[in-house]
Amino acid sequence: MIIKSVIDTMSKRQSVRTYETQKITASHLNEINDYINDEHHLIGPFGKKGRIVMVQVTNNVTDKGIKLGTYGFIKNPSAYLVGITENNQDSLLDFAYTFQKLVLFLTELGIGTCWMGGTFSRNSFEKEIQIGESEFIPCITPIGYPNQKQRIFDKAVRLVVKADNKKPWDKLFYDTSFERALIKENAGLFEIPIEMVRLGPSASNKQPWRLVLSEDRKVCHFYIEHTPNYSAKLGYDMQLLDMGIAMCHFELACQELNISGYWGVEDPNINPLSGNTEYIVSWYLDR
């Protein structure tokens, strides 16, 4: 048996926008269905539960005959996984945390994904799926086997959003206060979990997460640096999804490294980086 390292998976994952025409195999479809139908996989650290629905497509048309639109961003998807949750902070954080775990599970199976919050027609997906009064679709991902040969379009998207330019440590991570950048070698136990936050996907690759490691190295505070007006017209704060993804990467890396701890919300009242900085959550090392 091969034991996969999730740290390895997080390091290798990339958004995939062009897929092979080959359909996802029946056994992989079963594994995915089992995963998304298991309640434990749908609840995040704040205790909120979302839903994930799989819709298979042929030439982007569903079995019900509905054409699902991605404005040409995605080629040859075998299916879509559609996320559904409520529009409040805890639900969005939890949804993203659980959806990223699913993305990593799929990556380990050799299945490609691409988080999509903007470049798809919500209308067409809402025609396909029953959505409750208080629910909405924050994000979807196409799934399929990655085509090794990226389209020119994929390369262009990666170039435009600078997908391969992940911000360096000194722009994201801080030591004790926002006045001092955190030096990788000084992060102690948390070096790899913090590095995994840095490698996570984020909407338009804005990387809004900012972390402050406490002086005693026992607490890591998570802040969001909002990009002004980023997703205002969508009616929800898409960058909160980036924060849920960061929590997922951080926690899974800790788990693999046997670093035990827990999430809590207690604002340490550290002077913010800017007017757009907001405290979200902290991770406490078990004593």
The binding site for ligand FMN (CB under 6 A) comprises 14-15, 73, 114-119, 139, 157, 161, 163, 201-205, 238, 241-242, 245
Q: How far is the CB of 230 from ligand FMN (least distance, A)?
A: 11
Q: Do 197 and 250 touch, CB atoms closer than 8 A? A: yes
For residue 134, give Cα distances in angstroms to 25, 138, 170, 260. 34, 13, 40, 35
Residue 136 is inside which H or E element, if any? strand 135-136
User: Cβ closer to ligand FMN: 9 or 119?
Assistant: 119
The residue whose two tokens read 């027609």 is 121
User: Cβ closer to ligand FMN: 205 or 255?
Assistant: 205
Q: How far is the CB of 163 from ligand FMN (least distance, A)?
A: 4
User: Cβ closer to ligand FMN: 119 or 176?
Assistant: 119
Residue 56 is inside which H or E element, if any? strand 51-58
Q: How far is the CB of 111 from ligand FMN (least distance, A)?
A: 15
Nearest-CA neighbor of 268 among 283, 248, 246, 254? Answer: 283
Q: How far is the CB of 243 from ligand FMN (least distance, A)?
A: 10
User: Cβ closer to ligand FMN: 209 or 285?
Assistant: 209
CB contact burial 118-147 (16+ within 10 A = b; e otherwise)? eebebeebeebbebeeebbbbbbbbbbbbb
Q: How far is the CB of 118 from ligand FMN (least distance, A)?
A: 3
As a whole number of angstroms, the distance between CA 7 and CA 5 comes to 5
Q: Do 243 and 268 touch, CB atoms closer than 8 A? A: no
Nearest-CA neighbor of 213 among 189, 235, 229? Answer: 189
User: Cβ closer to ligand FMN: 92 or 211?
Assistant: 92
Q: Do 14 and 164 touch, CB atoms closer than 8 A? A: no
Q: How far is the CB of 254 from ligand FMN (least distance, A)?
A: 21
Q: Do 189 and 259 touch, CB atoms closer than 8 A? A: yes
User: Cβ closer to ligand FMN: 62 or 204?
Assistant: 204
Q: Do 93 and 247 touch, CB atoms closer than 8 A? A: yes
User: Cβ closer to ligand FMN: 56 or 119?
Assistant: 119
Residue nearest to ligand FMN (CB): 201
Q: How far is the CB of 119 from ligand FMN (least distance, A)?
A: 4
User: Cβ closer to ligand FMN: 55 or 213?
Assistant: 55
Q: How far is the CB of 287 from ligand FMN (least distance, A)?
A: 33
Q: Do 79 and 144 touch, CB atoms closer than 8 A? A: yes
